[in-house]
Amino acid sequence: MPKRPGKTVSPSATAPAQSVERALLNTAEVAELLRMSPRTIYHLVSRGEIPFGRARGKLLFERHQIDAWIAASTRGPVLNESVNLPPVIAGSHDPLLDWAVREAGSVLALECQGSSDGLARLASRRACAALIHIPNASGNGYNTEAIQSSLAGLPVVSLHWARREQGLIVAEGNPLRIRSLKDLISRRARVIRRQPGAGSNLLFARLLRASGASLDKLRALDTPAFSETEVAEAIADGYADAGFAIRAVADRHRLPFIPLATEDVELVAWRRSVFDPPLNRLLELGRGRRFAAHASRLGGYDLTRHGNVCHNG
């Protein structure tokens, strides 16, 4: 982790001693608070992994910073609220989000490299928000476990974006007569998959296992698709016979779609970013009729829960 430079703490000579004691902790007191040895505290200080200060060579710790550091699940120095987060939405690709960002006229940029990448960028403050759709490992629901694992204790909020239909997209006329996941293997279909870490890829792998199909027998192309649109384009161009993606891109390219699942997509954001103009403008657009009308034109979206708070860290 990046080293946090020490800072000189100079309590005012006129400040009451009692208030200083409440505000500042010494090494032994921090060790007791964190249930660690003083030696471990010194080690954290030497690596810059805990917020600290110095006064005449003595280590001092501000109690409110230690409390915030604990709340951040010991991910490193406390988030400096004065640091501006980049106006970037990472995570999953979504045609409705593409349109909404353009239509909102904000300065937001999209860097969509998959749901898992989005959570990593959010945790490392390289994005102000991320769109995700990751099935829970327990088998029930979406996103909850991924958020708790990657962003535990961090001040983030997750808002429901939409429910989307996921399934197989096949070539025009469905020449291989694909009707199920097992047909992908029995018909030796050339399948284009999404990149590792993409929510669609995680869901596709889970559905394959549940159907009894063997992943190692899948005739998957070497080059993955990095967006929902790329899946449909590869099939429309004859590069692939089938792929797993959302109904919206199948409809847009006039390709047959075989529905297999309905997923929950959420927009996870740093809580303070929700009130910043770029993201706030996008969220405001999502509450209007034009947003709902465009989702209806795209197809495969259910906005019943759009904007509902799913997680508030």
Given a cut of 60, whether residue 303 has pLDDT beyond it is yes
95's tokens:
């045609």
Strand-strand pairing, 88-91 and 129-132? parallel
Give the three-state DSSP class for 35. Answer: coil
**Cα 124 to Cα 214: distance, rounded to the nearest angstrom:** 36
State the pLDDT at residue 46: 76
Structural domains in the chain, sorted by start: 17-71 (1.10.10), 88-162+265-312 (3.40.190.10), 166-262 (3.40.190.10)
State the pLDDT at residue 162: 97
End-to-end CA distance of the chain: 23
Given a cut of 80, whether residue 13 has pLDDT beyond it is no
State the pLDDT at residue 73: 42
Confidence band, pLDDT 50/70/90 cuts, at residue 17: very low
Does pTM top 0.85 for this prediction?
A: no
Check if the beta carbon of residue 168 is closer than 8 Å to that of residue 179.
Answer: no
CA distances from 42 to 27, 51, 178, 235, 250 (A): 8, 12, 62, 58, 57
Give the highest mean pLDDT range of 7-21, 26-40, 247-261.
247-261
Confidence band, pLDDT 50/70/90 cuts, at residue 70: low
Q: Apex CA 292: angle with CA 97 and CA 89, to 5°?
A: 15
**Cα 206 to Cα 24: distance, rounded to the nearest angstrom:** 51
How many angstroms from the chain centroid is the CA of residue 50?
Answer: 25
Q: Which of 69-73, 197-201, 253-257, 302-306 has the lowest mean pLDDT?
A: 69-73
- Mean pLDDT, residues 109-120 taken together: 92
- Mean pLDDT, residues 169-183 taken together: 96
* Nearest one of 68, 64, 107 to 85, comparing CA atoms: 107
